[in-house]
Every structure is written in structure tokens, then in C-alpha cells.
Structure 1
């Protein structure tokens, strides 16, 4: 839980009282690999911080469409469903053993009411999720598949070993065979 406090304190000044109010609303949730944190068709009740693990966001169907990943040190949620209280249109699945610190929608609203810092923390989480979404959309519009592949791992190259290639291919919008060709060309 100290990781979360450090992340927030990099953005806002937290008193021990503010942190106590927020942290007592957090629930630790642990999931084995290949487990749904939330399934399509279910309402999202949590905004979560990933302490450990990797999750992927995908649209289920005959051919699953992976459209995002979140890693340790980041927030994750089916945030649109969390905000609107509607059912999620996609699934979030763990790719490795994952530990989350989660706050429910109701508890987050209570924190917002009781603390100005709570609102700033919520805004910070929302901004992080928005920036990730905007970066992905711009990459799809402006970058080649090879550039998207390289950029996915520029900050965290070790992740290539944690994410199956079929999910990476789906995420960057190509077939697994096209990804194999890109990987061969890069390694030459």
C-alpha cells in the first residue's frame, strides 16, 4: 500500500489523516493468472491500483480483440462502466498472478465528499487512464505496426516475456504472422 501513497504524494500533498481516510477504503484483491477481474456484461464496481501483475483489456468473441494492457504501478478499471454504472462492454483478464488494491465506486464517492485530496487522487487516476487511452488511439492513427510494437516495449522491455505474442499482435492491430515477420526483421 505504500507504493500507492508514494504515487499519490508525487502528485498531491497528503496528510496522515487524508491517507488514513483513503487507505481504509482500499481492499486487497488477488487473482491467479488467466482470471477475469471483470467480464463483459458485468458492472464495474472498482477502481484498482496494480501492485503486482499484468492485465489485458479485450473484447470477447470468436476472435478476441485486445486493446490495452495495464502493469504494476498503474491504475486499472473498466473505467467507462465504473463512471456510468453501466455494464462493461469488455473483459479485463490477468496475464500473471496479480495483486490489486481496489476502492469501490460508493467508497470513492464518500472519499470525494470528505476530502479535497480525495478528489485530486480520483482526478489523478482518471487522468492516467485517459492519457493511456489517448496514446493508444494516436498510435493507431499515426504509427506503423512496427513502431507500435517497438513503442509498447520501449519503457519496459521485460514485458515482452510476460505477454503472449497473440495478444501483442491483436493489440497493435495485426495478425500473429505479421508480428513474426516484424520480429524477424528487427532482430536482423
Structure 2
């Protein structure tokens, strides 16, 4: 659980008593490679901190799944809109690799917000971070070409290119696998 504390303390210092309350509400969970963590149509019950592994966010479809996000080690993963609104998720989350995670339920997170001074601050800062990432991604999809999005990914998130199958990378940057192959041939 030390990674969770590190993550939080990058935002705000924690007192031991607050950390004890927070840590008591997380549960360790293992997910097998390709295991679904959250299904489309289910209400997200957990905020998940990835200790080890990779999680993919996607919209399931029989013909073309649409991958739109990845989370890696030492990051939180969640169908956050479903988690907050308590409504069914429009997408699914899947472990791309064997994944070791720590989870906290919605109700336990609400308890932390009430029981600790720092809880609401951490929640707000995490939500702000998610909003900024989402806004940057939306703008890149609207303003940049497929090649520019690939180059941005190469420069800013090379871990995606190193550890995620290219068919998911292509979907993530909004192009076909064939388009990604053409871009990669031009660059390398």
C-alpha cells in the first residue's frame, strides 16, 4: 500500500492517523490477464489503484472495439463517471496483463471523505487531474492528425507503445491498424 500513500502525498501530506483510516478501507485484488474489471452496463463499485499491471478502457463492440484510455502501475483506474453518478457504465475496463490492485468501494470512500480532513482534498485533486487528462486527450483528437497524435504518444507516453498491443494503440489514437502501420513505416 506504500504506493498509494506516495501517490496521495505527492498532492498533500498525510498524518499517520489519516493514513490509517484511508489504508483500512482498501482491499487487495488480483486480476488475470484479459479479465474484465468493470463490465459495460454495470455500476462501477470501486476505485482501483494499480500496483502492478495495465488496464484498458474500451467500448465493447462485436466488430470494432474502441479503446480510449490506459492506466498503468501507480495510477488509479475507474469508470469514474459511473462511480460518481451511480449509473451503469457506458464502457468496460479490462486487465491487459496480470494486474495486482488495491480497491476501495464507493461507500468506503464516502466514509473517508467524512472521517478525514484530507479526504475531500484528495478527492478534489484526483478529479481535477482526471479532468485535465481528459481535456488534453479530447483536444488532441480534435486538433491533431493521426501522425501528430502518434508522435505525441511517442513523446509523452512511450510506455503505451512499449507495452500495449498495436491494435489497441491504433484505436486509442483514433486510426485504423493499417493507418498506424503506415505512420510507423514513415517514422522508422
Within 5 A, what are the aligned runs for 1:1-188?
Answer: 1-62=1-62, 63-187=64-188
Q: Which moved more, 1:8-17 or 1:128-137?
A: 128-137
Aligned equivalents of 1:141, 1:159: Cα separation in 2: 21
- What's the CA shift for 1:147? 1.7
Displacement of 1:167: 0.6
> TM-score w.r.t. structure 1 length?
0.95
SS at match of 2:21: helix
Tell me the distance in 2 between the aligned counterparts of 1:86 and 1:14. Answer: 32
Unaligned residue ranges in structure 2 (runs of 5+): none
In the aligned structure 2, how far is the partner of 1:83 from the partner of 1:102? 15
Q: CA deviation at 1:157?
A: 2.4
| SS of match in other structure, 2:164 | coil
Structure 1 residue 59: Cα displacement: 0.6
Question: 1:53-100 CA deviation, whole Å, 9 max, x = no partner?
Answer: 111111111211111111112111000000010111100011111111
Deviations 1:5-54 (A, max 9, x none): 11111111210000000010011111111111101011101111111111
TM-score scaled by length of structure 2: 0.95
Q: Equivalents in 1 of 2:154, 2:27: separation in Å?
A: 30
RMSD: 1.2
In 2, are the aligned partners of 1:95 and 1:162 still within 8 Å (CA)? no
Flag structure 1 segments of 5+ consecutive residues without an equivalent: none
The whole-number CA distance in structure 2 between the counterparts of 1:134 and 1:51 is: 26
| Higher deviation after alignment, 2-11 or 148-157 | 148-157
User: 1-side partners of 2:118 and 2:37: how far apart?
Assistant: 28
State the alpha-carbon separation in 1 of the partners of residues 161 and 152 from structure 2.
12
The Cα of 1:155 is off from its aligned counterpart by 3.7
In the alignment, the residues of structure 1 paired with residue 121 and residue 159 of structure 2 have an alpha-carbon distance, to the nearest angstrom, of 32
- Supply the distance in 2 between the matched residues of 1:49 and 1:126 (Cα, whole angstroms): 14
Describe the superposition over 1:87-131 as per-residue Cα deviations: whole angstroms up to 9, x where unpaired: 111000111111111110000001111112011121222222222
> Distance in 1 between the 2:99 and 2:149 partners?
25
